[in-house]
Amino acid sequence: MKKACILLAVAALMAAACGQKPLPKEKFDTISTYHNEPGDTSLYGLACDGTTDSLLVFLPYSGGDPDTFDIFDALADHRVLGRPLIGDKLAVVLRTDTDSVASSIYPVAELVVNINRLYGQWNYMVTPTLKTLRQPARPLPDSIRQRFLAPREYGLRLKSDGLAYTTGMPRQQTSDERSPVVYPPAKRYNGWKLYNGHLILTTDSASHQQPDTATIVLMRRDSLVLRFADHEQAYYRAKP
């Protein structure tokens, strides 16, 4: 699939150079059966050869000829999340305001999300707090206090098939009942998707918890920052 854009360009150039008719359109028909959910206006497809710091050459999942989008302002505003490489899966949200669109000969991108860069294990460290005891207790020695307050690594794993996992949280709290410290809770996610450029994290339907919508503030090769409704969380990519 990563070679689809290259093959498309090479085939067109060969046909023109040899004076032959272009290959039938069905040769480059739909490359994915993905369909947007109602209300999601994002464009989904692949990054093609010819993409630069100012232009994105984009092959939509619906097939046909590649499109070209102006990403100069989006890149300057840190709204290109994950530098696109040839064959990467992308979600593109286009601008609709008349002034910005009129200033470019190409459609202007408001946001570009490199979906491939989201895949994988993202971790962060949490620090416990001491429990409030009903009865006063003698102060803990510093060495024991330091051992109890050891940080723990939580994580969020996003798979290419849309599954998600929360890692690091103990499955049962019974082992921690006698501990003088408590670690912060974390939601257990089981799925994820993009919707208008936002990351939607879903939980098991049996938990009756609403999905969490996060804005991707920053995404680099080894770092990710998500803004939730009540907090902002920074992650680092786990080493393989």
The end-to-end CA distance of the chain, in Å, is 25
Residue ranges making up the domain that contains 154:
119-237
Q: What is the CATH number of the domain that holds 26?
A: 2.40.50.140
Shared-domain flag, residues 105 and 144: no
Is residue 50 within 8 A of residue 85, CB to CB? The reply is: no
Is residue 216 within 8 A of residue 224, CB to CB? The reply is: yes
Rounded Cα gap, residues 233 and 187, in angstroms: 13
Question: What is the number of structural domains in the chain?
Answer: 2
Shared-domain flag, residues 162 and 93: no
Instruction: Write down which residue in 96, 115, 134 finishes a domain.
Output: 115
pLDDT in tens, the chain (240 residues): 444 454 444 344 333 333 333 334 334 456 666 788 999 999 999 999 999 999 999 999 988 899 999 999 999 999 999 999 999 999 999 998 866 666 779 999 999 999 999 999 999 999 888 776 555 556 666 666 666 678 889 999 999 999 999 998 765 554 556 667 788 888 899 999 999 999 999 998 776 778 999 999 999 999 999 999 999 999 999 987
Shared-domain flag, residues 123 and 34: no
